[in-house]
Structure 1
Amino acid sequence: MALQQTGSSKREAPAIEAGAASSASQGSASPGSAAASEGRPLPRMQRRRATRRSLVHYLKGREVGARGGAGLSGSEGELRGYAVQKLPELLRERELALGTVNKVFASQWLNARQVVCGTKCNTLFVVDVHSGHITRIPLMRARAPWLSRAQPTCGIHAIELNPSKTLLATGGENPNSLAVYRLPTLDPVCLGDRHGHNDCIFSIAWMSDTVAVSGSRDGTVALWRMDPDVFEGSIASHSDAGLPVHAHIRPRDLQTIPRSSTSPCSCKVRALAFSGKSQELGAVSLDGYFHLWKAPSHLSRLLSIRLPYCRENVCLTVCDEFSLYAVGSQSHVSFVDPRQGHQNMQPLCSREGGAGVRSLSFYQHMITVGTSLGSLLFYDIRAQRFLAERASASPDSSPRPSGRKLKLTCAGRGWLNHDDLWANYFGGMREFPNALYTHCYNWPEMKLFVAGGPLPSGLHGNYAGLWS
């Protein structure tokens, strides 16, 4: 079904990204063998103050009948809901050194202390957030030599773990390929490099432990099924060099996003999100449309909705509890409720000083927003407003809203390559805001990993920080 025509606008050079210690170690040791070291404990007074404040608010919440879980888990639901709302205000930043890799576009927690990251320079590595140790992960190579040529301007835009956290899907040496690794060893399992995408993969979503979907810059969505027999075969066989040999797979289904204009670049698939509750897949294309597909046995498109803000729709997340998809654009967050159909899409948008939205995540009723100016914002779906700063006159008094939007700004400057483009286009600016292209939570330990790099596409640099 053809979509209505949309306009396009020119960009001024230099362009901005749509995504997204010493050099990473080349050692053969697995990420799990990285040296351990203790994280920085909070000062005793700060710990006491945070605990006292949390207890006061929790008790006051119960007095006024705060909303929580149902049945026997009501108290636990209240505590969890309160923690989600209160945690952002207590987070403190610790910068992590990543060497000279270029722009971290994707990240996921592997365990309590390790995060796997993918970069614009097509590097896959694991960083130990306690010790700072970095271990590079070899990328899978396509079968045909001409397919192995990496595209230097694309890189790794997506890293996703399956529901049981036994498999990890990301890009290969050729960013067009889907690479699947076994966890926790990160041994290669299979590579989707045949009859798949013709351009780099921008997003990946797991629909079950063995079914994944990838969205590409070529405007296609591919469904991949990992046969358990493939896992055993790829680990059991080894090359002459003693390295595991991965299998090669092809997609079970390949669908093209409908075009809204004559431009061949308008229908790039930028982001995917799978709703386990409805068994539906949401997709955002750069021409300003949200598409919904029925899943997971095959891909059948249900609808396409014109988004209210059409510039730079680059990130997408879903909240199953509220059946809402959140879309991040140039300076807004819009919410799509597929149950309302084409006519009733309720956008709940907010601006952050012109800062683009570069990363989004849902946890319960809270959505976290990473911006192009290095800041984090927090939106409460229930209240339909951003969290506000709270201030108290004394540690024992109840904090009250200050009227200012709660915003965590990354103080760490990361690393920036002072090359000719930096000198010529930006006048030798020594400090440049880092776009937060990716963030991921470790909720059991109340930690948030945030990473990115400079927004202009020509600038080479990176930033990573642990908020805890």
Structure 2
Amino acid sequence: MAEQQSRTVKVKAEEEGNGSWTTTLSSLGSREAGQGERPVVAKRQKRQEVRRSLVHYLKQREVGAKVQGFQGGMSGYVVQRLPEMLRERQLFLGTLNKVFASQWLNARQVVCGTKCNTLFVVDVHSGHITHLPLLRDMAPYVAWAQPTRGIHAVELNPSKTLMATGGKNSSSLAVYQLPTLKPFCLGDREGHTDWISAIAWVTDSVAVSGSRDGTVALWRIDSDMFTGSITWHNERELLMYGHIRPIFVEAIPTSSNSMDNQKVRDLAFSAKNQELGALSLDGYVHLWKAENNLSKLQSVRLPHCRDNLCLTYSDEFSLYVVGSQSHISFLDPRQPQQNIQSMCSYERSLGVHSLSTCQHIVTVGTGRGSLLFCDIRAQKFLEEKSSPDPDAICSPTGKKLKLSCSRGWLIHDDLWVNSYIGMQEFPNAVYTHCYNWSELKLFVAGGPLHSDLYGNYVGLWS
């Protein structure tokens, strides 16, 4: 009986968390011995009540009802249980190619950037798409004649009054006002020489961009710093915006002579520590103190160096999370480098292409068109439940919880006919995903993993 109660308390601790990465059976057993049998029964009753409340909320939301006081103490439980309740509704984008970046603008609109250099807003209720004008560099500029490299980053500032992304020239930083989405300014002077791969807001008026040219640039979005303005016409309206230059540019440190290894793949910012992390292709996370400029702190070598593609930051645990070809690594700058923890993503060779964190759960988008969910506290991936009943105490199945995306759209052109027609599988990489937690919705997008295939995938999971 005591052993059964000990296992019950352990399951409870893993689901609700104790603020640490790992909870040992012995510590839980000691706690149980001090409390006796009666508190365990009370906790079980409370757990069942919470589960019924979650189901009730989801049903009420389906009919448009509002449930007050839902966030509060249930938020951790929702983050834990939501992934297994999500169901896909595929959206259709027409002939756009590969969605690389996305952000929720409000409860029903998501802004996206694509490989074909298109910036658009999609209404997740109606599926309607609105294209946004791309901001052009001040003429003359030779990059106009170069092939477009796509929009790889879209980020909203903390107050959601400005949105930063790429311009017509992929190496320029375009800023739009929110909620109007009117052009505000374009960073096209003395900035990057290759496409912008990542953007992070430091404050409401200061943004950092990272580029394939191996640099990070600090931009102050302030009308007093505009060096000039231009106007240009299209068929509908006259657009006016300022042109700015970065106030600080820093090169990524490199451990080799190859410039290719200096490419910045992703950025993550810790507001609590005022610290910026930059992930480079050669398998390093570089840390800066981000204020009026970038003050170098340290460079940390990652244990897995192949295809480090994405980086995010967990405020809950003060950890950087890195996605590589086959692993997820957890970097704590306060600990020695040899203490970096890693977990195999179980999607070998196709890689981790997008990451996000909320409380103790890391959502992982893979190159195989699937979503995995990692529990930082338990240091393991969430598993499928043995029973669909949300009120039942389920035993682990040992099978990882995985949400598989639909096939999306793929153009069957001459290249596909000549090179891929015999293939049975064309995985859509999950290049981007973002949550709307107030609505319990997850927006997922991407496209064919093979770089020369043309297509897209977008799904709303709710």
| Same topology, TM > 0.5 | yes
Task: Decide whether the 8 Å contact of 2:347 with 2:368 is kept in 1.
Answer: no
Query: For residues 147 and 451 of structure 1, what CA distance do their matches in structure 2 show?
Result: 32
Match of 1:463 among 436, 444, 457: 457
Corresponding residue of 1:167:
162
Corresponding residue of 2:298:
303
How far residue 431 of structure 1 moved from its aligned partner, in angstroms, is 4.9
Task: Decide whether the 8 Å contact of 2:52 with 2:391 is kept in 1.
Answer: no
Corresponding residue of 1:422:
416
SS of alignment partner, residue 417 of structure 2: helix
Within 5 Å, give how 1:71-82 maps onto structure 2: 78-82=73-77
Deviations 1:54-87 (A, max 9, x none): 97273799xxxxxxxxxxxx99654110000000
User: Who wins on radius of gyration, i.e. which is larger?
Assistant: 2
Corresponding residue of 1:367:
362
1:202 and 2:197 correspond: yes
Corresponding residue of 1:188:
183
How far residue 309 of structure 1 moved from its aligned partner, in angstroms, is 0.8
Task: Decide whether the 8 Å contact of 2:327 with 2:342 is kept in 1.
Answer: no
Query: For residues 427 and 232 of structure 2, what CA distance do their matches in structure 1 show?
Result: 45
- Larger relative contact order, structure 1 or 2 (CA cutoff 8 Å, min sep 6): 1
Within 5 Å, give how 1:223-238 maps onto structure 2: 223-229=218-224
1:130 and 2:122 correspond: no
Query: For residues 151 and 312 of structure 1, what CA distance do their matches in structure 2 show?
Result: 26
How far residue 300 of structure 1 moved from its aligned partner, in angstroms, is 1.2
Structure 1: stretches of 5+ with no match in the other structure: 1-52, 62-73
Q: From the two aligned structures, give the one with the greater helix fraction.
A: 2
Task: Decide whether the 8 Å contact of 1:120 with 1:152 is kept in 2.
Answer: no
Match of 1:454 among 441, 444, 448: 448
Deviations 1:396-429 (A, max 9, x none): 533332221110011x211111122212221354
The residue type paired with residue 435 of structure 1 is A
Query: For residues 388 and 86 of structure 2, what CA distance do their matches in structure 1 show?
Result: 20
Query: For residues 453 and 372 of structure 1, what CA distance do their matches in structure 2 show?
Result: 9
SS of alignment partner, residue 444 of structure 1: coil
Deviations 1:88-146 (A, max 9, x none): 00000000000111100000000000000000010000000000000100100000232
* RMSD of aligned alpha carbons: 2.5
Corresponding residue of 2:330:
335
Query: For residues 390 and 191 of structure 2, what CA distance do their matches in structure 1 show?
Result: 58
Query: For residues 414 and 310 of structure 1, what CA distance do their matches in structure 2 show?
Result: 31
Query: For residues 394 and 194 of structure 1, what CA distance do their matches in structure 2 show?
Result: 58
Task: Decide whether the 8 Å contact of 2:225 with 2:244 is kept in 1.
Answer: no
Query: For residues 353 and 390 of structure 2, what CA distance do their matches in structure 1 show?
Result: 35
SS of alignment partner, residue 416 of structure 2: helix
SS of alignment partner, residue 281 of structure 1: strand
The residue type paired with residue 409 of structure 2 is W
Query: For residues 60 and 342 of structure 1, what CA distance do their matches in structure 2 show?
Result: 44
**Larger CA deviation: 393-402 vs 271-280:** 393-402
Query: For residues 426 and 150 of structure 1, what CA distance do their matches in structure 2 show?
Result: 31
Query: For residues 388 and 172 of structure 2, what CA distance do their matches in structure 1 show?
Result: 56
Corresponding residue of 1:58:
50
SS of alignment partner, residue 244 of structure 1: strand
Query: For residues 91 and 343 of structure 1, what CA distance do their matches in structure 2 show?
Result: 37
Query: For residues 379 and 246 of structure 2, what CA distance do their matches in structure 1 show?
Result: 40
Task: Decide whether the 8 Å contact of 2:148 with 2:169 is kept in 1.
Answer: no
Deviations 1:333-383 (A, max 9, x none): 111111114443333444334431000001111100000000000011111
**Larger CA deviation: 149-158 vs 358-367:** 149-158
Q: Percent identity?
A: 67
Task: Decide whether the 8 Å contact of 1:102 with 1:453 is kept in 2.
Answer: yes
Query: For residues 243 and 54 of structure 1, what CA distance do their matches in structure 2 show?
Result: 60
How far residue 258 of structure 1 moved from its aligned partner, in angstroms, is 1.0
Q: TM-score, normalised by structure 1?
A: 0.81
Query: For residues 449 and 151 of structure 2, what CA distance do their matches in structure 1 show?
Result: 16
Query: For residues 173 and 96 of structure 2, what CA distance do their matches in structure 1 show?
Result: 21
Distance 1:120 1:337, change over 3 A: same
SS of alignment partner, residue 135 of structure 2: coil
SS of alignment partner, residue 376 of structure 1: strand
Task: Decide whether the 8 Å contact of 2:314 with 2:357 is kept in 1.
Answer: yes
Distance 1:418 1:208, change over 3 A: same
Match of 1:85 among 80, 86, 104: 80
SS of alignment partner, residue 415 of structure 2: helix
Query: For residues 403 and 335 of structure 2, what CA distance do their matches in structure 1 show?
Result: 34
Corresponding residue of 1:249:
244
Structure 2: stretches of 5+ with no match in the other structure: 1-44, 54-68
Match of 1:275 among 270, 273, 279: 270
Distance 1:189 1:396, change over 3 A: closer
Query: For residues 425 and 366 of structure 2, what CA distance do their matches in structure 1 show?
Result: 17
Query: For residues 158 and 271 of structure 1, what CA distance do their matches in structure 2 show?
Result: 9
1:379 and 2:371 correspond: no
Deviations 1:290-347 (A, max 9, x none): 1101112110111111111111111000012211000011111111111114443333
Task: Decide whether the 8 Å contact of 1:110 with 1:116 is kept in 2.
Answer: yes
The residue type paired with residue 446 of structure 2 is G
**Larger CA deviation: 150-159 vs 193-202:** 150-159
Corresponding residue of 1:445:
439
The number of residue pairs the alignment matches comes to 400
Q: TM-score, normalised by structure 2?
A: 0.82
Task: Decide whether the 8 Å contact of 2:51 with 2:391 is kept in 1.
Answer: no
Corresponding residue of 1:289:
284
The residue type paired with residue 352 of structure 1 is E
Task: Decide whether the 8 Å contact of 2:219 with 2:248 is kept in 1.
Answer: yes
The residue type paired with residue 283 of structure 2 is G
Query: For residues 227 and 280 of structure 1, what CA distance do their matches in structure 2 show?
Result: 22
